[in-house]
Amino acid sequence: MNRVHEEGPRLPLDSESIKGLRTRIIGNIVNFHSLVGSTDELAKDIALSGGEEGTVVVSNKQTEGMGRSGRRWESSEGGLYLSVVLRPNTGREEVSILPLISSLALSKAISTTYLIETSVKWPNDVLIGGKKTAGILTQTSMKDDEMEYVIIGMGINVNNPIKELPHDIRRKSTSLSEATGKDQDRGELLRNLLTFLDLHYQGFLQGGGPQLLEEWSDRCETIGRAVRIQMIDDTIRGSALGIDETGALMVKQGLDIIRITSDDCIHLR
Ligand code: BTN
């Protein structure tokens, strides 16, 4: 008898959830957890102890989920929280586009899995109907001028209740269950995500970055809009023209064109 794997919308995923996954690099090893501090921290330990490129850490819940610019990432049960260990043989400059490529993969995976329109917001959020449903945190480590590892951490609001998010974040956020009106299968999303990530990472390694950035720009809702960018010691108001080959945002402010990297940006509105 064929047993169909059924997952609870808020129960931990396990290896059954990604049965049949066929990828080259990303997802050859996937560690599933029900509760961790942060999947990024576990992935970093794996990277530092010589773990294999493409290793993925997934958790059902995080107590110390980390977001961009030192913010906290609320990570209650029912969301999908994962980190991927990468070891690209490139310099620091080249890897600056990896977060954008990852958000492209995530946006495609969500659209493919749930047949729903998604867009990306610079630098690497995924939106549904203008509201954030997923975010990405990238951490890079160099050793003696060589790339040691890159950790791509992704947090996706799937079946976790949006009402548990802090008030200021809640009104700009959504989840897959809220957007589609029912709890959703996270195993299928994880399979599709690892598949798109693997495909695009291979494309990146083979010099396909510029084409992937074009695809990213086509899905981007920031380009062509008026933006306000909060930086550590300045605020830029202008019109977003596009991204350059490193993934930095080009903003026209008066007669000036300003180049903003994701490290400079605390908030974009
Ligand atoms: C953002 O601020 O938009 C980025 C959020 C990234 C959250 C993910 S959840 C999995 C991984 N582990 C963490 O502690 N953070 C990232």
Calculate how far, in angstroms, residue 73's C-alpha sits from the geometric centre of ligand 1.
6
Calculate how far, in angstroms, residue 38's C-alpha sits from the geometric centre of ligand 1.
8
Averages of pLDDT over each 10 residues, the chain, 269 residues: 61 92 97 98 98 97 96 95 96 92 98 97 96 97 91 97 90 96 96 98 97 98 94 91 96 95 87
Dist. CA 238–CA 228, nearest whole Å: 7
Calculate how far, in angstroms, residue 78's C-alpha sits from the geometric centre of ligand 1.
15
Pocket of ligand 1 (CB under 6 A): 38-40, 62, 65-68, 71, 73, 75, 81-83, 125, 135-137, 153-155
Interaxial angle between packed helices 98-114 and 209-218, expressed in degrees from 0 to 180 and rounded to the nearest 10: 50
Closest CA to 188 of 173, 176, 203, 200: 176
- Identify the residue whose C-alpha is closest to ligand 1 atom 5: 67
Answer yes or no: are the C-beta atoms of 174 and 180 closer than 8 Å.
no
Atom of ligand 1 nearest to the CA of 69: 2
Q: Which of 13, 45, 75 to mutate to test the pocket of ligand 1 (most atoms within 8 A of CB)?
A: 75
Atom of ligand 1 nearest to the CA of 67: 2
Dist. CA 128–CA 150, nearest whole Å: 27
Closest CA to 57 of 204, 155, 132, 134: 155
Q: Which of 154, 172, 174 to mutate to test the pocket of ligand 1 (most atoms within 8 A of CB)?
A: 154
Which class for 261: exposed (0-12), middle (13-18), buried (19 or more C-beta within 10 A)?
Answer: middle
Which class for 241: exposed (0-12), middle (13-18), buried (19 or more C-beta within 10 A)?
Answer: middle
Q: Would you state the pLDDT for residue 6?
A: 54
Residue indicated by tokens 């291979």: 202
Full DSSP string of 44-108: HHHHHTTPPTT-EEEES-BSS-B-GGG-B----TTSEEEEEEE--SS-TTGGGGHHHHHHHHHHH
- In the numeric block, which tokens belong to residue 254? 């008066």
Please tell me whether the overall predicted TM-score, pTM, comes out greater than 0.75 for this model. yes
**Which CATH number applies to 3-219: 3.40.50.12240, 3.30.870.10, 1.10.150.120, 3.30.930.10?**
3.30.930.10
Atom of ligand 1 nearest to the CA of 65: 14
Mean pLDDT of the chain: 94
- In the numeric block, which tokens belong to residue 239? 């019109």
The CATH class of 226-267 is: mainly beta
Calculate how far, in angstroms, residue 100's C-alpha sits from the geometric centre of ligand 1.
15
Return the bridge partners of 251, or none: 240, 258
- Identify the residue whose C-alpha is closest to ligand 1 atom 11: 153
Atom of ligand 1 nearest to the CA of 132: 3
Return the bridge partners of 152, or none: 84, 138
CATH 3.30.930.10 range(s) for the chain read 3-219
Q: Any alpha helices (H) in the chain, and if so which ranges?
A: 39-48, 98-114, 167-170, 176-180, 186-205, 209-218
Answer yes or no: are the C-beta atoms of 55 and 84 closer than 8 Å.
yes
Calculate how far, in angstroms, residue 3's C-alpha sits from the geometric centre of ligand 1.
34
Answer yes or no: are the C-beta atoms of 27 and 76 closer than 8 Å.
no
